[in-house]
A and B are shown apart, each in its own frame.
Chain A
Amino acid sequence: MGNFDAFEQGLASPNGNGRLPNGHGCPKDSPSVDNQLKFSAPAYTEIRTRRCNAKAAAESKNASSSTYHPERKVLLNGHAAAAREHKSECKPNQAEGKLSPEMEHYQKTSFEEVPMHTACLTYLGFYLLMILGYINQLLFVPKVATEKGREGYVALYDAFESFYSRYVYRRIKDCWNRPICSVPGDELTLKDRVTDDYGWSFKFTGTETRCLNLGSYNYLGFAAATGRCADESEERARDAGLAYCSSRCELGNNAQLEELEKLTARYFGVEDAIVFGMGFATNALNLPSLLGPNCMVVSDEKNHASIILGLRLSGATIKVFKHNNMRDLERVLRDGICYGNTKNGGKPWSKVMIIVEGIFSMEGSIVRLPEVVALKKKYKAYLYLDEAHSVGAMGSHGRGVTDYYKVDPKDVDILMGTFTKSFGSAGGYLAGSKKLIDFLRTNSHAHCYAGSISPPIAQQILTSMKTIMGEDGTETGRNKIMQLARNTRYFRRRLAQLGVITYGHEDSPVVPMLVYLFSKIGAVVRTLTTRHIAVVGAGFPATPIMEGRIRFCLSAAHTKEQLDYALEVIDETSDDLGLKYSRKPRDPNPIEY
Chain B
Amino acid sequence: MAVIQLFNEIGTIFRNTPTFALVLEIFLLITVIWLLLHKRGGGRRRRFTKEEEDFIIENYEPEPLVGETDPDHPLLRTRLVASKVGKRINVDGHDCLNLGSHNYLGFLEDQDILEEACKSLRKYGVGSCGPRGFYGTMDVHLELEERIAKFMDLEEAIVYSYGFSTVASAIPAYAKRGDIIFVDEGVNFAIQKGLDASRSTIAFFKHNDVKDLERLLVEQEKRDQKNPKKALKTRRFLVAEGIYMNTGKICPLPELVALRKQYKLRIFIDESVSFGTLGKGGRGVTEHFNIDRDEIDLISAGMEGSMATIGGFCVGSHFIAEHQRLSGLGYIFSASLPPMLTQAAISALDRFEREPQIFEQLQAKAQLLHQIFSRFSKLRLCGDELSPVKHLYLAIPGETFDAERKRLIDVADKCIARGVAVVEAAYLQNRERKPVRPSIRVAVNRLLEEAEISAAFEIIENVSSAVL
Q: Which residues of A contact B (CB under 8 A)?
A: 144-150, 152-154, 156-158, 161, 165, 169, 176-185, 188, 191, 213, 215-218, 222-226, 229-230, 233-234, 237-255, 258, 277-281, 284-285, 288-290, 304-306, 309, 312-313, 334, 337-339, 342, 346, 348-352, 378-382, 413-414, 418-421, 423-426, 435-436, 438-443, 445-451, 454, 456-457, 460, 534, 536
A408 CA to B426 CA, complexed, in Å: 36
Chain B residues, Cβ within 8 Å of A254: 80-82
Q: Which of A181, A213, A241, A337 contacts B139 (CB 8 A)?
A: A181
Judge if B418 is at the interface, Cβ distance under 8 Å. no
Are the CB atoms of B134 and A149 closer together than 8 Å? no
Residue of A nearest to B334 (CB): A280
Q: Which of A177, A234, A349, A423 contacts B121 (CB 8 A)?
A: A234
Residue of B nearest to A252 (CB): B81
27 A/B residue pairs, CB under 8 Å, sorted by A = A156-B319, A176-B133, A216-B130, A234-B118, A243-B308, A243-B344, A244-B81, A245-B85, A245-B103, A246-B101, A250-B426, A251-B89, A251-B423, A255-B82, A284-B165, A284-B329, A334-B53, A337-B56, A350-B63, A351-B63, A382-B65, A420-B127, A420-B129, A425-B127, A435-B68, A534-B135, A536-B134
Chain A residues, Cβ within 8 Å of B323: 156-157
A146 CA to B109 CA, complexed, in Å: 43
Judge if B73 is at the interface, Cβ distance under 8 Å. yes
The winner among A251, A349, A435 for most chain B CB atoms within 10 A is: A251
Chain A residues, Cβ within 8 Å of B135: 178, 180, 184, 188, 213, 215-216, 534, 536
Q: Which of B98, B109, B127 contacts A223 (CB 8 A)?
A: B127
Are the CB atoms of A454 and B82 closer together than 8 Å? no
Are the CB atoms of B57 and A255 closer together than 8 Å? no
Are the CB atoms of B196 and A281 closer together than 8 Å? no
Residue of B nearest to A418 (CB): B335
Chain B residues, Cβ within 8 Å of A229: 126
Judge if B113 is at the interface, Cβ distance under 8 Å. yes
Are the CB atoms of A277 and B322 closer together than 8 Å? no
Q: Give the shortest distance, in Å, between A292 (CB) and chain B (any CB).
A: 10
Q: Which of A180, A419, A446 contacts B164 (CB 8 A)?
A: A446
Judge if B162 is at the interface, Cβ distance under 8 Å. yes
Are the CB atoms of B142 and A425 closer together than 8 Å? no
Q: Which of A177, A238, A289 contacts B325 (CB 8 A)?
A: A177
Chain B residues, Cβ within 8 Å of A255: 80, 82
Chain B residues, Cβ within 8 Å of A419: 127
Residue of A nearest to B179 (CB): A154
Interface residues in B, total, Cβ within 8 A: 124
Q: Which of A218, A246, A378, A381 contacts B129 (CB 8 A)?
A: A218
Residue of B nearest to A164 (CB): B326
Are the CB atoms of A280 and B81 closer together than 8 Å? no
Are the CB atoms of B45 and A454 closer together than 8 Å? no
Chain A residues, Cβ within 8 Å of B318: 145
Judge if B124 is at the interface, Cβ distance under 8 Å. yes
Chain A residues, Cβ within 8 Å of B85: 240-241, 243-246, 251
Judge if B128 is at the interface, Cβ distance under 8 Å. yes
Are the CB atoms of B317 and A147 closer together than 8 Å? yes
Residue of A nearest to B71 (CB): A438
Chain A residues, Cβ within 8 Å of B101: 244-246, 251
A183 CA to B125 CA, complexed, in Å: 6
Chain A residues, Cβ within 8 Å of B20: none
Are the CB atoms of A184 and B129 closer together than 8 Å? yes
Chain B residues, Cβ within 8 Å of A182: 123-124
Chain B residues, Cβ within 8 Å of A352: 62
The winner among B124, B189, B430 for most chain A CB atoms within 10 A is: B124
Residue of B nearest to A253 (CB): B78
Are the CB atoms of A454 and B338 closer together than 8 Å? yes
B415-468 residues at the A interface, CB under 8 angstroms: 421, 423, 425-428, 430-431, 441, 443
Interface stretch, picked from B11-19, B208-216, B230-238, B359-367, is: B230-238
Judge if B114 is at the interface, Cβ distance under 8 Å. yes
Chain B residues, Cβ within 8 Å of A177: 132-133, 137, 325
A148 CA to B155 CA, complexed, in Å: 12
Chain B residues, Cβ within 8 Å of A284: 165, 168, 329-330
Chain B residues, Cβ within 8 Å of A245: 85, 101-103, 108, 304-305, 308, 443
Q: Give the shortest distance, in Å, between B92 (CB) and chain A (any CB).
A: 10
- With contact pairs A154-B235, A249-B426, A251-B423 given, residues A184 and B130 touching in the complex (Cβ less than 8 Å): yes
Are the CB atoms of B310 and A217 closer together than 8 Å? no
Chain B residues, Cβ within 8 Å of A161: 327
- With contact pairs A449-B188, A454-B341 given, residues A242 and B121 touching in the complex (Cβ less than 8 Å): no
